[in-house]
Amino acid sequence: MSFKNGNKSILLIVLMSLFVILTACQSNNSSNEEESKSSEENEEVKTLEPEVVNVYVRENLKEPFNEVIKNFEEDHEDIKLNVQYMKNDEMMEEAVNNDKNAIAFTTEDVVNNLIDENMIEYKDTGVAMMDELVLFTKADSSDIQKAGDIGNETRIAILNPEFYEEGELSKKVFENEEFKDVSTTDNLILGDSIEDVKQDITNENAKVGVLYLSDVEDDENYEVLKRLPRNIVEPYIYKIGIINKEGLENSTKTVYDYLLSNDSLDVFSEYGYII
């Protein structure tokens, strides 16, 4: 090989080596840029805050609804539920004064009032479940084993009609012909809470209590004697409605649909509500 040809070969080898090095560097830079871009995008996704949906729930539904919240948020990481538990009158006041969208989960009469006030459209409502008043007694009671055993001297525990609609309905139950032999003149024991009524039965201050099925269904200390028929007292109906003040967001509709789904209502069924 001549000296001249040898120089050409060396030059060629050097140029090829430089080409390989430059190509590798360019590829590496491109890869780093892609990784950096991907990392930035992932970081952006991670920092996105979940959408908040306000939900007003009647206070007696707190225990089952807490389970519903947990189940929902496990499957919907992009939505956060801001739940407020309240009495019906408090819910009406909150709905009137708050300018944000919300979902109301409460009794039928309140949802209907919100429709009358043009805060909920009828098409944005759905029936969730029902609850029925029942007569119940202590699980191991030997005196009262069926509704027919309730007599003129039987002491009956109910919620105070002054504070609870359930108490007023319970009192009216014994005005029905079916209970004509039951005297409530001196035999009604008034409780200021559900627990008070149940405690009166436990301590045998009263032999029979009147509460909603959901209050006693899953409690082994008590036995249901009778579901009160609808010709005596109508069941308590719970409805769900969307309070739409800002235009309906997808997140609010997602929550509304979930609350009316079997995944949600099955939880309430376990607590004694009628689906």
pLDDT in tens, 8-52: 566 566 566 666 565 655 655 555 556 655 555 555 555 578 999
Q: Which amino acid is at 147?
A: A
What is the structure's pLDDT at 218? Answer: 85
Q: Where is average pLDDT lowest: 25-29, 131-135, 226-230?
A: 25-29
Q: What's the Cα-to-Cα distance from 219 to each of 119, 159, 180, 198, 214, rounded to whole Å?
A: 38, 18, 30, 10, 9
- The predicted model gives 109-128 an average pLDDT of 96
Residue-wise pLDDT for 253-265, tens only, equals 999 999 999 999 9
Question: What letter represents residue 103's amino acid?
Answer: I
Query: Looking at 161-175, 190-204, 249-263, which range is the least confident one?
Result: 161-175
Q: What is the gyration radius of the CA atoms in the chain, in angstroms?
A: 33
Residues near 223 by beta carbon (within 8 Å), at least 6 away in sequence: 136, 137, 138, 139, 141
Per-residue model confidence as pLDDT tens digits over 53-63? 999 999 999 99
Task: State the first-to-last Cα distance of the chain, in angstroms, to the nearest integer.
Answer: 97
Q: Is the pLDDT of residue 110 over 80?
A: yes
**What pLDDT, on a 0 to 100 scale, did the predictor assign at position 136?**
97
CB 168 within 8 A of CB 219: no
Give the type of residue at 73: E
Helix (H) or strand (E) holding 5: helix 3-47
Task: Tell me what pLDDT residue 266 has.
Answer: 97
Q: Which residue has the higher pLDDT, 26 or 129?
A: 129
